[in-house]
Amino acid sequence: MRGEIIAIGDELTTGRIINTTSFFAASQLFTAGHEVIAMTTIGDEVELIGQTIRQALGRADFIIVTGGLGPTTDDLTNIAVSAALERPATFYPEISKKIAAHGANNPPEVQSALEKLAWLPAGAHALHTEAETAGYFLVQDGKPIFFLPGVPHEMKELLVETVLTRLAVWEGEEGRRVRQKVYKVVGLAEAEINNKLEHLEDPAHGVRIGYYPVLPEVHVSLTVAGNGEATIDQRFRDLDTAISEILGRAIYGCGIDSLESVVGRLLNWQGKTLAVAESCSGGLLAHKITRVSGSSAYFLGGVVAYSNDLKERLLGVPAGVLLQHGAVSSETALAMAEGIRRLTGADLGVATTGIAGPGGGSEAKPVGTVYMALATATRTDDRLLRLAGDRWQIQEHASQFALDMVRRSLLDSQ
C-alpha cells in the first residue's frame, strides 16, 4: 500500500532534533512491502496539522502521524484531528481509568494534565491494551490513520507491534496474502548477495527481493504476495529455506535482531563470558554490548587502551611488540585479546586496534587500517580490515566486525 508519514513537533522543524523516527518507520514499512510516498515534518500548529492530514488522505492508502499526543499545552494533534476530520473530542472512560491506576502516586496537577489523554477524536481506537503509551488509530474514508507518540522508543514499539500487524490484515481483507521477512547479513557485499540470490527473484509470481545496505551490514527483504493463502505460504517457506541455505552464516538474524543481541543470546546459551580490549573503537564496542538488557550476565568488562602505556601495563602487550610492530598491528591485536582474556578470566577476549582518523595515517597504514583479534581457550585469531569513511564510520564498522568475529567463533564452538 502507499503510505505517508507525518511527524509533528516544533523541536523537529527547528532542526534541533533529527527526526529519526520517520526514517525508522519508512524503512520498516518499505521492508514490509509498502511504498512511502511522502514524509512530512511540521510544527505544532493546528491548522497546518489538519491541512497536512487532509492532503495525505487525498493521495495515500494509509497515514502514520507521530508526535503531539502528550499532556502539555503544545501537544495539539488531537485538537487538529478533531477539527480537520470533524470528529469531536470524546471521553474514553477506560483510558481514564488506566491513567488513574497508573498515576496513583502523581501530584494532582500532573494527574489532571494526564486526564487530557483520555479525550480522543470520535471513532478512535486505542492501539495498546495498556494506557502507559498514548497511541490510537481511526478509519477515515476507508483509510487507516495511526497516531503514535513522538518519543522514539514508544513510537518504534507501537509501530512494530501494532501498526505493521494491522496493515498486514488490512491487505488481507482484499483477499491478498503477503508474507515478508528481513534477513540481516554481515560479511558479504550487496553485489555478492545480489549475485547469489537474483535467480530467486520472480516479480511475475509476486516474489520480490530487496537489498538495503546499512553498512557494514546488508539487510535483505523477501516479499511474497498474491492470492491463495496455501500457495503463498508454501512459496514463502521454500524461498526462506533457499535464502537461508545460500547465505548461511552470513545471516546473523532477522527483523529486530542486532549483532549485539545475537551475540548476547549465543553467550547466554553457551554459558560463556566476554571481555573487550579496545583501542580504535574507543568504548563503542563495550557500549554496544552493554546497551543490551541483561548483558551483565555475560559481559565482564573491558579496557579502553588508548595509550601505549595502558596497552603495555594493563593488557600486557610486550614493549618489544609495540616497538617492533607498532600499536596498530596484528601482533598488538593478538596480545591485547589474550591480555584482556587473561586479565578478566573471560571465556572470550576480543580486541581492536587501528587508525580511526582523521589524523594518524601513514602510507603503510592509512586511516581505516584496523586489526582485530579474538582469543578463546583453544586459539587466538586475528583479522585485518581496511575500512573506508570518516572517524564515525570507522569506529562503527570496526565495532560491528568485532561483534561478528565473536558471533562466528561462538557458532564454530557449538
| 20-31 vs 164-172: helix crossing angle, rounded to 10 | 40
| CA 312 – CA 179 distance, rounded (Å) | 54
| CA 114 – CA 98 distance, rounded (Å) | 11
Question: Residue 50 Cβ, how far from a copy of itself at the closest point, in Å?
Answer: 13
| CA 9 – CA 257 distance, rounded (Å) | 30
| CA 370 – CA 388 distance, rounded (Å) | 11
Nearer to a copy of itself, 37 or 319 (CB): 37
Task: Tell me the residue type at 216.
Answer: P
Question: Residue 88 Cβ, how far from a copy of itself at the closest point, in Å?
Answer: 26
List the one residue out of 369, 384, 396, 286 whose CA is nearest residue 334: 384
Question: Residue 147 Cβ, how far from a copy of itself at the closest point, in Å?
Answer: 18
Nearer to a copy of itself, 23 or 170 (CB): 23
Question: Residue 258 Cβ, how far from a copy of itself at the closest point, in Å?
Answer: 13
Nearer to a copy of itself, 60 or 120 (CB): 60
Nearer to a copy of itself, 247 or 355 (CB): 355
CA distances from 394 to 122, 125, 329, 358, 390 (A): 51, 46, 16, 10, 6
Helix (H) or strand (E) segment spanning residue 276: strand 274-278
Q: Please list, residue by residue across 127-160, b when 16 or more beta carbons sit within 10 angstroms of its beta carbon and e when fewer do.
A: bbeebebbbbbbebeebbbbbbbbbeebbbbbbb
Nearer to a copy of itself, 72 or 227 (CB): 72
Question: Residue 27 Cβ, how far from a copy of itself at the closest point, in Å?
Answer: 3
Nearer to a copy of itself, 71 or 283 (CB): 283
Question: Residue 232 Cβ, how far from a copy of itself at the closest point, in Å?
Answer: 21
Query: Residue 108: phi, psi to the nearest 5?
Result: -55, -40
Question: Residue 311 Cβ, how far from a copy of itself at the closest point, in Å?
Answer: 8
Nearer to a copy of itself, 29 or 243 (CB): 29
Largest CA distance in the chain: 78
